[in-house]
Amino acid sequence: MSANLKIGLIGAGSAVFSLNLVRDLCVTEGLHGSQVWFMDPDEQRLGIVHRLASRYAAELGVDLAFERTTSREQALDGADFVINTALVGGHDHQEAMRALSERHGYYRGLTFSNFLQFGLMLDVARDMERLCPGAWLVQSGNPVFEGCTLMTRETGVKVVGLCHGHYGYRRIAQVLGLHVERVTFEATGFNHWIWMTRFEYDGEDAYPLLDEWIETKAEEFWATHKPHYGDNQMSRAAIHQYRLYGLMPIGDTPRKGGWWYHLDLESKQRWYGHLGGFDSEIGWAQYLQDLERRLESLRRVAGAADARVTEAFPPTRSGEQVVPIMDALANDEARVFQVNVPNYGQLGALGAGPGAAGAGIPDDVVVEIPALVNRSGIHGRVTRQLPRNLMLEAMLPRLWEAEMWIEAFVTGDRRLLLRLVLEDHRTRSLEQAEGLLDALMAMPANAAVAERFGWR
């Protein structure tokens, strides 16, 4: 079978993501014959990715064609699928904003990354309306929740957001000593804010097994386990959220929670372990170091003509959903995936069922739910609703926050922007909030944001 699809990858300089995409394409026979267009403004990184991808497919004898370009229009023109994984300004600009806002009293920083990402997302989606109106847009760059909701409202492009945070249920199974293939799992919510509504082992409710672990083994686990910075799934914070809301938070959800987990490094270490979790100054620095090491390893392979790329990236499935979803849509390989799509009544409000009158989550809000994907499209389905208390205490406040970010971007209303900063638990005065905004707006890399809000 040969698909002969055109796939445009925006932000292809993210080498690890790009190579994972390539190897998944190589082991997916139904997509052989496709043409992949790598697009990135960084020509050096673009060249590395293009060389590695071409060599990878050649080593495996797979019929895939690769092109590179700095022109977004060229990558999108006539595409069947577009994947957007780009981060405007990269981590360097994020770290500069973080450092500046820490000087204004905001521990671990506050950035304008959402506004920068919104601008790019809308630009990509609007270009697609002109150049490939029938294509699917796969959004993997954050913020998936707010960004996909914005694009759904402002454009007619078919958008699906993807994340791998839902795989956190596998960590729960591992810690509990369960065989993951015998676990039935379902989670719903917003991206990075999802809750395990179904957890069964051999068809029986497995939540009692989790409760038993908490009562008999959790304290020993927390006292002896030295978690990797990304291992937050069974942290004290995750279990505390479970006790607060009645359902287990999954994936990136334990990283968020309440402000009380994030007051300072000591608080983070209490709730997330000795490193303080993914978002502490220790954990985040290790993440950036690991990312740079992986990139340097790929640079070495790209520079060594006799090195085999398939040894660095073995030809096995990466576990990411991007390529399997494209295969399901293009070749009718129907499967159920965890996706971010417009609500359309699947997720009700205050414990109401799908489509119930007065639902508090509108249809144009993108929710994370399981969905059946086949040639006819992506069909969200929810078998169990979130309980009333969780909707009131967690979901609706998170929706309000997202709506504020989106409305501020769309209207350019400085009052909404100020309100967002004033609502931050680290804000101690109006003058502090205003000083931070002035400083962030003065950064040259934030010129587009400053113009949108009338700062210059």
The pTM (predicted TM-score) of the whole model is 0.96
User: How many helices (H) does the chain have, and how many strands (E)?
Assistant: 20, 13
Confidence (pLDDT) at 440: 98
Domain ranges, residue 126: 6-164+302-312
Residues 148 and 48 in one domain: yes
Q: Rounded CA gap, 182 and 169, in Å?
A: 12
Confidence (pLDDT) at 1: 45
pLDDT in tens, 198-235: 999 999 999 999 999 999 999 999 999 999 999 999 99
Residue 374, domain member (yes or no): no
Residues 396 and 257 in one domain: no
Confidence (pLDDT) at 449: 97
**Beta strands 65-69 and 35-39: pairing type?**
parallel
Conformational region of residue 377, where left means phi above 0, alpha means psi within -120 to 50, and beta covers everything else: left
Confidence of residue 257 (pLDDT cuts 50, 70, 90): confident
- Catalytic residue check, 252: yes
Q: What percent of the chain has pLDDT over 70?
A: 97
> Does the pLDDT value for residue 456 go beyond 80?
no
Residues 140 and 81 in one domain: yes
Active-site position among 32, 91, 164, 379: 164
Confidence (pLDDT) at 335: 96
Active-site position among 24, 231, 252, 279: 252
How many Cβ atoms are within 10 Å of 353's Cβ, its own excluded?
11
Residues 125 and 38 in one domain: yes
Number of independent structural domains in the chain: 3
Residues 138 and 158 in one domain: yes
pLDDT in tens, 342-391: 998 888 755 554 544 445 689 999 999 999 999 999 999 988 889 999 99
Residue 384, domain member (yes or no): no
**Distances from the Cα of 262 to the Cα of 164, 258, 272, 308, 399, angstroms:** 23, 8, 10, 44, 21
Residues 145 and 221 in one domain: no
SS (H, E, C) 394-431: HHHHHHHHHHHHHHHHHHCCHHHHHHHHHCCCCCCCHH
Average pLDDT score over residue span 65-83: 98
Q: Rounded CA gap, 219 and 400, in Å?
A: 35
Question: What's the mean per-residue pLDDT of the chain?
Answer: 95
Residues 265 and 131 in one domain: no
pLDDT in tens, 126-182: 999 999 999 999 999 999 999 999 999 999 999 999 999 999 999 999 999 999 999
In this structure, what DSSP letter does residue 165 have? G
